[in-house]
Amino acid sequence: MTFSCSGIGVTPGIAIGEAHLLQRGFIEVSPRFVPLNQITNEIDRYRQAVANARRSLNTVEKKIPKSTWSEIASFVDTHLLMLADAALSEVPIDFIRNQSCAAEWALQLQRDALIKVFDAMDDPYLRSRKDDVDHVISQIQKFLIQKKKDEYTPDLQGRIIIAQDLAPADTILLKHQGVAGFITEGGGPMSHTAILARGLGIPALVGVHHATKILRHGERLIVDGKQGTLLATNDKSILEHYRRLIRKTEKHAASLLTLVDEPTVTLDGETARLMANIELPEDIEATRSLAADGVGLYRTEYLYMNRSNTPDEEEQYAAYRQAVEGLDGLPLTIRTLDLGADKQLDSCTQESTTCNPALGLRAIRLCLKEPKLFRPHLRAILRASALGPVKIMIPMLSNLQEVHQLKALLQETKESLSRDGLEYAADIHVGGMIEVPAAALAADAFARELDFLSIGTNDLVQYTLAIDRIDDEVNYLYDPLHPSVLKLIQMVIDAGNRHGIPVSMCGEMAGNPQYIPLLMGMGLREFSMQPGSLLEAKRVVRSLDAAALSKQVGRLMRNIDKPNALQILPQICNLYH
């Protein structure tokens, strides 16, 4: 039998593989047993994890605002009672003691048993309390496997992951595990999880409602990221049809490789620079092999995830050094930490109580508030700048004051490095990401004080249109071609030109072949994108007439508020076939 459903495709590819279901926040672990002489140690580890989970819940309770205290506190109290119940505080210990289970495996056995009991309940309310049990168990698990996620994750090679949601931290863990595809119930195509999936070239769908309930672990799935469809089937002719499509895509990818050594020049001789977005230093290899002109966005925050501590200056320096040396003279744009919103640290055991994390203490705001976090980061970047052309890029600027504070901190950091006898590039370029509408509207002021600007359209669209980029319910309104967004982009490009500083774009829009003709027509010449998009982008640029586009898009932008002005957009975007 074939079953199909739809979602929002985030990577235009097809994957065929077996389903692997991940429960919310709970990682399925493989069976693991310990020798008799380690049983006491395992029991201590389990007790410690329960104690940590209790401490974490107590912290949450203390942070509940007085106005909502009674309703929310009763939830937290219930979770604390569950933690204290013998079902969680004693039974897993019996499994460790009597069956030599590792602590994580003992917890999983008890979880499976409890979930079975809840699933069998007739009363729908009681059945729904299963989610509470799962939440409390995942809290204990979080402390048990904090440092060892890799070790406990089962073999995922060729599997299609089905989850309610995947945090970027989870996705980066799956990066090297040969996962074939992702399906999530929530999330938008511009979430960091979707961006990571795209970077890996892994077909993925988000917004597949109830996926974890309707799909079964182990069944064969076909994910079509271009059409946004998902099939559960064993039908031979359907499978063969999709295998043919996969072969066609592979052939196209191979044909693009002939462009690697060709210049990125339009038909009328305009040069564009195509840079790469990377998450980890090992991404440099793809950047080099696809002949990118450098790195336009290095998302440094991924080094901080999936660990219980923060990397110190030396560890960060080693990572940035690997990247700068790997680039062998090509520019490396290191974005300072963009933590917060959907990118949280494991070491932050306190649950966020902020209502709107995307509007909260994120990115440069967080860094300026936490000098203990920021200083070693700046020192490591500055030290790497002695080894090659490194630039610093500041995310989420909304206010010139932030530039002034950053520059003062940078100056202090340079002085401290000089005192320590450590080298750095004194004239390191400092640029800013324009991803908040306020910064785009004040682009002239930022251009006056910075060495370059980079347009972060993922957030710029989110903040301009008031669309949470990770919320699938409002995703249909997420539109990079909205006239307000186009006007802001044009303002930033023009401000850069007026002040003689380079402007690039590093949001996902820059790597979308359909938007490249429009952006070239708006005067953009520097694009930073997932390495996997570089060659297709080059193909598009090489097919364009920049002068003609400039006239056509210029006319569009001058008339953008007039009725029907946008009718020309599909024609411009369709220059790409």
| Residues within the interface to ligand PEP (CB under 6 A) | 195, 297, 299, 338, 435, 456-459, 506-507
Which position among 79, 367, 377, 506 bears the catalytic label?
506
Tell me whether strands 229-232 and 3-6 are parallel, antiparallel or unpaired.
antiparallel
Which position among 20, 79, 101, 192 bears the catalytic label?
192
Surface-to-core class of residue 505, CB atoms within 10 Å of its CB (0-12 exposed, 13-18 middle, 19+ buried): buried
* Rounded least distance, CB 455 to ligand PEP, Å: 7
390 versus 394: smaller Cβ distance to Mg ion: 394
Catalytic (active site) residue 506: yes
* Rounded least distance, CB 244 to ligand PEP, Å: 34
510 token code pair: 């820059």
Residue nearest to Mg ion (CB): 459
42 versus 459: smaller Cβ distance to ligand PEP: 459
Residue ranges binding Mg ion (CB under 5 A): 435, 456, 459
57 versus 493: smaller Cβ distance to ligand PEP: 493
* DSSP-assigned states of every residue in 383-443: HHTTSS-EEEEE-S---HHHHHHHHHHHHHHHHHHHHTT----TT-EEEEEE-SHHHHHTH
Give the closest residue to 455 by CA, choosing from 473, 432, 478, 477.
432
Surface-to-core class of residue 57, CB atoms within 10 Å of its CB (0-12 exposed, 13-18 middle, 19+ buried): buried
CA angle 444, 455, 485 (to 5 degrees): 85
CA 464 to chain centre: 20
* Rounded least distance, CB 364 to ligand PEP, Å: 12
* Rounded least distance, CB 478 to ligand PEP, Å: 12
What one-letter code names the amino acid at 283? D
Residue 457 contact among ligand PEP, Mg ion, none, beta carbon within 5 to 8 Å by kind? ligand PEP
180 versus 195: smaller Cβ distance to ligand PEP: 195
* Rounded least distance, CB 462 to Mg ion, Å: 8
Output 250-254 pairs: Cβ under 8 A, ≥24 positions apart.
none
200 token code pair: 């890996």
3-state SS assignment for residue 41: helix
* Rounded least distance, CB 362 to Mg ion, Å: 9
* Rounded least distance, CB 435 to Mg ion, Å: 5
114 versus 297: smaller Cβ distance to ligand PEP: 297
Q: Report the distance separating Cα 496 and Cα 440, nearest Å.
A: 11
Residue 159 contact among ligand PEP, Mg ion, none, beta carbon within 5 to 8 Å by kind? none
CA distances from 409 to 297, 379, 402 (A): 22, 10, 10
Residue 299 contact among Mg ion, ligand PEP, none, beta carbon within 5 to 8 Å by kind? ligand PEP
Torsion of CA 101, 103, 107, 109, to 10 degrees: -10
Residue 189 contact among ligand PEP, Mg ion, none, beta carbon within 5 to 8 Å by kind? none
Q: Report the distance separating Cα 524 and Cα 520, nearest Å.
A: 5
Surface-to-core class of residue 67, CB atoms within 10 Å of its CB (0-12 exposed, 13-18 middle, 19+ buried): exposed
Surface-to-core class of residue 438, CB atoms within 10 Å of its CB (0-12 exposed, 13-18 middle, 19+ buried): exposed
337 versus 549: smaller Cβ distance to ligand PEP: 337
Catalytic (active site) residue 192: yes
> Do residues 576 and 514 touch, judged by C-beta distance below 8 A?
yes
What one-letter code names the amino acid at 370? E
457 versus 475: smaller Cβ distance to ligand PEP: 457
Residue 345 contact among ligand PEP, Mg ion, none, beta carbon within 5 to 8 Å by kind? none
* Rounded least distance, CB 436 to ligand PEP, Å: 10
28 versus 471: smaller Cβ distance to Mg ion: 471
Active site residues: 192, 506
